[in-house]
Structure 1
């Protein structure tokens, strides 16, 4: 088949940290992952490695705002994404520079527009079109 599912990029968990039920999120994530792979098994021929169970699940880190505001909850939720490579789940943390200093995320000054390539980053955002009020302009 021409279309092949190579990986799933999972960028979720922020608002789970602010919920009283945040401790339930790791088990819910595992159940969702299991069900997702089971549901896709009818499309094994179109999955990386020939099996939905082998499609890598890449879990991206959250912004520093969430990590710093909800440290304990962050460790519960995002900690559950870590060390699961044997299950095909890979955690991608935010980068730090050579001195261990956090690198830029998506503050407007850190995420400029590149009109020539059709990319419009956080520099084009206003308080009216941010995805969250926790990402000020």
Structure 2
């Protein structure tokens, strides 16, 4: 009986897609920009910093920031569908282009191991939301506002 339950559990986890959880909390938001405290993980400090900045970007793109002017995600479609549909765009965007929209990235907690022995860094990241929205509109990822 235990083996059957374990097999069923494994099959269910393989079938169900778990959405990404970003460790992000909003610090400040204006109509033009959002500041967030983000945790990034990686084997090196630069990789962890990129992960934290991408967490901020992906939060704005696919989740939105609660109790701010940007509570609705910029991309209204499902994350996996959009990233697959515009694969070439998102590959380039996630590798380097996203940095054009990062206004500032300030280290809060230096790179090191956390309580769970994971290598991570905590950053305060400020993203220029309006410029990001315009960029996505110009590249056909989202519809222009009001259309």
Question: What is the TM-score normalised by the length of structure 1?
Answer: 0.21
Structure with larger RCO (C-alpha < 8 A, sep 6+): 2
